[in-house]
C-alpha cells in the first residue's frame, strides 16, 4: 500500500469536507490548493484552473467586495512575512466572511500561507452593540491582535481611544435613560466617519470607544479624529457637570502607525494619551507618534 498517496488523498478529503474555504499560496504567489468550499464561497467554477493568486483575486474576488482596495492592502502587507492575521470582509451581496491567515514551512514549497474564509453572515449581528450600533467588546477582543497590521507608508493607521467626559456625573444629573441617549448619539457620530470596511469602531466599555481608521497621511488621520471630537461637542447636549463646556464632550488619546506595532503596546500608549487629555482639561485629543516609540 502506498501510504504517501493515501495520506494525500485523506488530507484532500478532509479539507473538502470542511465548512471553511481554504486557499494555500506560496511566497511566489502560486495557488497550490483550494478546497471545494473556497470555490463555493467565491463562486468559482470547479473546472477553472487557479494557479496565480493575483489573477484569481482580480477576476473573482475584487468585483464582489465592498472595499476591494482594503482587501488588496492586507494581502500586500502580509506578502513574504510570517505574520498571522484575522479580520472580516464585506461582500456586495450582503455576506460577511471571517478571514484568517497563517504561514507554514514546507519542504517542497518553502514558506507558504494558508487563507481560511468562513461565512459569518448569520452571526454578524451578535457582534453589534445594540445601544450604539458599533462593534462590541467581544468583537474588539477578537480583532485586537491585528489592529495595526496594515500600517504602511502608503496606508497610515490611526488608532484612537475615546471616553465621555464626566459621564458618571451626567448619569447622576440627568438619569441613565438620558445617558443611553448620549451613547446612541456618540455611536452615530463615530459610524458617520467610518469610510472603509477596514475602518472599525467599537464600544469597549460603558462610555469608552475604540476606533481604527485608515488614512493616506498623518493630517488625514488627525483631521478625522479631531472632527469626531468636534462633532460630539457640537451636538450641544447639555451637561452642567462638565464645566467649562457645559455640554457633552469626549476626550481622546490616539496614535499613528506607519508600520505594525504590538497591539498591547498600542493600547497602552493611547490609553496613557487619553489620561493626558483628561488631565489637561478634557474635550481634547492627545497624539502619540507610535513609530517613534520602542515597543
- Round to whole Å and give the CA distance between 63 and 68: 8
Beta-strand relationship, 21-26 and 31-34: antiparallel
Helix segments in 79-217, DSSP class H: 137-143, 167-174, 176-192
Q: How many CA atoms lie within 13 A of 185 on its CB side?
A: 18
In the numeric block, which cell numbers belong to residue 16?
473538502
Number of helices (H) and strands (E), helices first, in the chain?
9, 10
Q: How many CB atoms lie within 10 A of CB 93?
A: 9
Q: Is the dihedral of CA 138, 144, 146, 150 positive or negative?
A: positive
- Catalogue the active-site residues: 207
CA–CA dist 114, 117 (Å, integer): 10
Largest CA distance in the chain: 83
Sequence-separated (6 or more) residues with CB below 8 Å from residue 295: 261, 262, 265
d(CA 135, CA 124): 10
Amino acid at each position: 500500500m502506498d501510504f504517501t498517496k493515501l495520506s494525500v488523498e485523506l488530507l484532500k478529503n478532509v479539507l473538502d469536507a470542511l465548512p471553511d474555504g481554504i486557499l494555500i499560496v506560496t511566497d511566489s504567489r502560486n495557488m497550490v490548493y483550494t478546497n471545494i468550499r473556497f470555490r463555493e464561497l467565491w463562486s468559482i467554477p470547479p473546472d477553472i484552473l487557479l494557479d496565480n493568486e493575483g489573477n484569481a483575486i482580480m477576476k473573482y474576488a475584487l468585483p464582489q467586495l465592498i472595499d476591494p482596495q482594503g482587501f488588496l492592502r492586507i494581502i500586500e502587507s502580509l506578502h513574504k512575512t510570517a505574520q498571522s492575521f484575522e479580520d472580516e470582509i464585506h461582500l456586495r451581496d450582503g455576506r460577511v466572511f471571517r478571514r484568517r491567515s497563517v504561514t507554514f514551512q514546507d519542504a517542497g514549497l518553502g514558506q507558504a500561507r494558508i487563507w481560511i474564509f468562513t461565512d459569518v453572515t448569520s452571526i454578524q449581528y451578535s457582534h453589534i452593540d445594540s445601544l450604539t450600533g458599533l462593534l462590541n467588546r467581544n468583537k474588539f477582543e477578537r480583532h485586537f491582535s491585528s489592529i495595526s497590521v496594515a500600517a504602511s507608508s502608503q496606508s497610515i493607521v490611526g488608532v484612537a481611544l475615546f471616553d465621555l467626559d464626566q459621564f458618571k456625573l451626567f448619569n447622576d444629573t440627568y438619569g441613565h435613560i438620558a445617558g443611553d441617549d448620549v451613547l446612541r448619539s456618540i455611536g452615530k457620530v463615530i459610524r458617520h466617519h467610518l469610510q472603509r470596511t477596514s475602518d472599525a469602531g467599537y464600544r469597549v466599555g460603558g462610555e469608552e470607544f475604540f476606533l481604527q481608521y485608515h488614512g493616506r497621511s498623518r493630517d488625514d488621520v488627525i483631521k478625522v479624529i479631531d472632527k469626531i471630537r468636534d462633532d460630539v461637542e457640537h451636538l450641544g447636549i447639555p451637561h452642567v457637570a462638565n464645566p467649562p463646556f457645559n455640554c457633552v464632550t469626549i476626550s481622546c488619546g490616539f496614535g499613528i502607525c506607519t508600520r505594525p506595532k504590538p497591539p498591547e503596546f498600542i493600547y497602552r500608549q493611547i490609553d496613557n494619551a487619553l489620561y493626558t487629555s483628561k488631565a489637561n482639561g478634557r474635550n481634547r485629543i492627545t497624539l502619540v507618534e507610535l513609530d517613534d516609540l520602542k515597543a
